Chain A
Amino acid sequence: MKMRWSAWVLAVFLFCGFLLPLFLKGDPREPVAAPFSKPVWADRTQAPAMSLTVPTGEAGKTFSWSWEAPRGLSVTGEVLFAKTPSKAALIWETPAGAKWVLSDLSGQNRWTLDLDARDMAFRISLGLSPFDESLRGLFDKHGMIRVRIESDVPVERSSLLVKIPGERWGLFGTDQRGRDVFLLFLYGIRVSLFVGILAVLVSSLIGLDAGLVAGYVGGAADTFLMRTVDVLLSVPLLPVLMVLAALWGKGLWQLVLILGLFSWMGTARTVRSMALSFREAPYVEGLRALGAPTFYILARHGIPTVLPLLLANIALGVPGVILSEAALAYLGLSDPRVISWGRMLHEAQSFGAFTTGAWWLLLPPGLGIALLCLAFMDLGRALEEWADPRLKGGRA
C-alpha cells in the first residue's frame, strides 16, 4: 500500500504530541510573555518580545531595535566579578549615542539585580519621569542598542537577563494568561488522539458485538438491538453528552466512556448487514451442519470476516468523536486543568479573543482538529479500499 498523505500527517502529529514536548523546556501552564502577544511572524510593525542575556565581555550584547518604545523593561540575574571593582556599571547605549547607567555595580564583587521599569526608584535613577509610562529615553531612535557591563576588573560570570515585553512572541503567540499557544497546541494533540482513539475502540467493541448478535442470531435480539439503535439515533446527541459530562464528572476516562457509549450505532448497522450475509454463506451453513457452536463460528470466522471493514470504520469514526470531544470542551464541559484544543477555543471565546481580535488563539486548535479529522477520514478510506478493492476508482 502506498504511503498516503494522511499517514504522514498522523506521524507528524504523533511526533509533535508525544515526543516534541519532551525536548521543549517549559510548563505549558506557566506564563511566558505578555498576555495576547501575537505570533512573531505576524505583524512586523510591532515590537517582538525580547529576552537577552548580557555576556561577560567588554563588547556586551547588541541588538537591533526598529519599533516604538516598549511598554516595559526588566533586568534580572547575577553578576560575579573576579575582584571587588572600584568602578563598575551596567551600561545601556542608545542608537542616538546616549549612555545610560542602568545600575551601578561598584564596591561589591557579587551583585544580584532585579530591576523593573515599572519601579519608581529605577525610573528616577534613570532620569525618566515617574509618571510617563514611556521608555523613550532608552529607545530614542531605531538602530543598534548595546547593553554591556563596564568595569575595571574582569567579569567572571554574568547571568543578567534583559527582558522587553513586546507585542509578538513565539511561534503561535500567547493567550490571555500569557501562556505559550504553541506548547498548548502540542499538548492538545494528546487529548484529541487519546479520547478519539480510545472512545472509538470502545464504541467499535460495542458495535461489533451488537452487530454480530443482531445479524447472526437475529430474532428478538435483532429487534431489540435495532430498536435501541433507532432510539439512540433519534435523540439529540450533544445535549445528552452535555448532561452526562456534567453528571459523571469531566475526566478524560469518563469522556471516553460517554462518547463510546453514544457512537456505536453506525458500526452496529454496518456489522449487522455483513453478519446477515455471513450467516447465509455456504461455508457457515456447513459449519452449523457440522455442529459448531455459535460462539465458535462468530469468534473464529465471523470476526475475521468483518475485521477489515471494522478497521475502516474505526478510522472513519475517530473524526466524529474528536469533534464531539472538542464541542464538549468548547462548551466548558471539560476539566479546566486538562489542556485540549476544545478548551483552548473555549478560553479564546470566554476571555475576549473576539474583542481583541486574537485570531492566533482560534486558528491553531481549530485547524489542528480539522487536519486530524481529515487525516483519519483519508486513512479510513484507504482502509476501506484495502478491505474492498472494488471501491478503488469507483469513488470519485
Chain B
Amino acid sequence: MRPVKRYWTRRLGGAACVVAIVLVANFFLFRLMPGDPVATVLDPRFSPEAKAQLEALYGLDQPLGVQFLLYLRRMATFDFGLSFSTQRPVLEEILERLPNTLALLVPAYLLSVLLGTVLGVIAARRRGHLAEKAVLAAGAVSFSFPSFFVQMVLLLLFAYVFPVFPLRGSLSIPPPEGTWRILADRIWHLALPVFSLVLLGFGGWALTVRNLVVKVMGEDFMILARAKGIGERRLLWGHALRAALPPLLTLFLLSLPGVVSGAVLTETVFSLHGVGRFLLDSVLGQDYPAAGGAFYLLTLITVGSNLLADFLVQLADPRIKTGGEESR
C-alpha cells in the first residue's frame, strides 16, 4: 500500500500548493486593483468619519500583514464579507447562483463526454466512415471556433430567427406558478446553453478517444484477444476502451479548469444567473470581495474535482497501486 500513500501525499500536496498560491495571489491581486474600492460604495458628500467607518467595516484600515491573517481566517470559514455593490454577504450571493452553474456544467460535461466516447470509439473502428468525418470536423470546430461565437450564432438562430428558446436569463420573469412549472421553465432556459456546450465539447473528446483507441487496437494484447475469438464489439468496448481509460481520465482532469472558463463565457452569452457571470460583473465593477470570493470558490471547486478525478484515475490504472511508473 506504500506507493498509493506516496501518490496521494504528492497529489494532496499539489492541491494544497495550488490553493495556497491562489490564496496569496487573490489577496494581493485584489488589493492592487485600480480605483479606490470604498469610493464605489461611498457618496463623495460623506464625511471623512463615515469613510473611515466604512474602511474599518471592510478592514481596509489595518496594516497589510494583519489584513492578510484576517483574510486567511475568513477564507477558511468562507466568510468573504459584504459585496460592495449589493451590500449582501458574498457567500450568500454565490450560493444562490451556484446551483445554476452546476445545473449548466454537470449535464453539459457528462453528455459531451458520453457522446464523445461513443463517437470516438465508433470512429476508431470504422476509419473513413461518416462518424469519423463528423468527429474530425467537430474536433476542428471545437479547437478553432471561439466558443462564445458559436453560442451567439445558436442563440440568434434558435431564439431570434426561430424563437423556440428564450433569449436570456435562467428563469422567466415573472416566474411561473408551481414547482413543476418552475422546473420545466428552468430546463427550457438551460436547454440551449447545455446543447451548445455539448456541441462544442464532444469533438475534442471524441478525437482523443479515437486516437487512443486506434493506438491501442494495434497493440499485441489486442491481437491476442482477437486470436482468442473475442467478439468485435467486446474487443472494442471492453478491451480497447478499458486500456485507453487511464490517459482519458488524465485528460478529463486536465480539462476541468477549462470548464470553469467555459462557464464564464456561456453564462455571459446566455445571460444566465450563475457564478461565472457573477465573477465577470464583480471584476468589471471593481467589487473586490465578490470577485475574490468567486475566484477562490471556483478554484476550490476545480481543485476538488481534480482530486476526485485523480481518485478515478487510480481506480482505473492499477499501475499506480503497484508502484509502477505513473502514466502521463
Contact = CB atoms under 8 A, between A and B. Distances in A.
Contact of A243 (B149, B150, B254, B295): B295
Given A243-B29, A246-B33, A359-B156, A235 B18 contact: yes
A291 interface: no
Contacts of A253: none
Given A243-B295, A332-B284, A333-B283, A354 B155 contact: yes
B260 A238 contact: yes
Most chain A beta-carbon neighbours within 10 Å: one of B30, B144, B159, B268? B144
Nearest to B265: A327
Contact of B298 (A236, A244, A323, A373): A236
B34 interface: yes
Interface string A348-380: 110001110101001101100110011001000
Interface residues of B, number: 51
B299 A235 contact: yes
The A interface is mostly helix, strand or loop, or mixed, namely helix
A236 B146 contact: no
A396 B146 contact: no
B146 A366 contact: yes
B169 interface: no
B80 to A, nearest CB: 15
B306 to A, nearest CB: 6
Contact of B257 (A234, A243, A396): A234
Nearest to A366: B149
Contact of A373 (B32, B144, B155): B144
A231 interface: yes
Contact of B258 (A237, A244, A349): A237
Interface in B242-298: 254, 256-258, 260-261, 264-265, 268-269, 279-280, 283-284, 286, 291, 294-295, 298
A319 B264 contact: no
Interface string B290-328: 010011001100110010000000000000000000000
A331 B14 contact: no
B160 interface: yes
A366 B257 contact: no
Nearest to A269: B328
B84 interface: no
Contacts of B76: none
Q: Give the contact-size bracket for chain A.
A: 35 or more
A68 B146 CA distance: 39
A396 B124 CA distance: 11
A155 interface: no
A354 B160 contact: yes
B327 to A, nearest CB: 14
B302 A231 contact: no
A330 interface: yes
A230 interface: yes
A366 to B, nearest CB: 3
B17 interface: yes
Contact of B265 (A330, A353, A362, A365): A330
A379 to B, nearest CB: 12
A247 B254 CA distance: 27
B144 A227 contact: no
Interface in B14-63: 14, 17-18, 21-22, 29-30, 32-34
A238 B148 contact: no
B17 A370 contact: no
Interface-central residue, A238, A247, A327, by most chain B CB under 10 Å:
A238
A323 B146 CA distance: 6
B32 A247 contact: yes
Contacts of A121: none
B167 interface: yes
A331 B264 contact: yes
Nearest to A377: B144
Contacts of A210: none
Given A238-B264, A357-B160, A366-B149, 7 more contacts: A234-B18, A239-B295, A242-B279, A246-B286, A326-B146, A354-B159, A377-B143
11 contacts: A227-B14, A233-B257, A235-B302, A238-B261, A239-B294, A331-B264, A357-B161, A370-B145, A370-B146, A373-B144, A373-B145
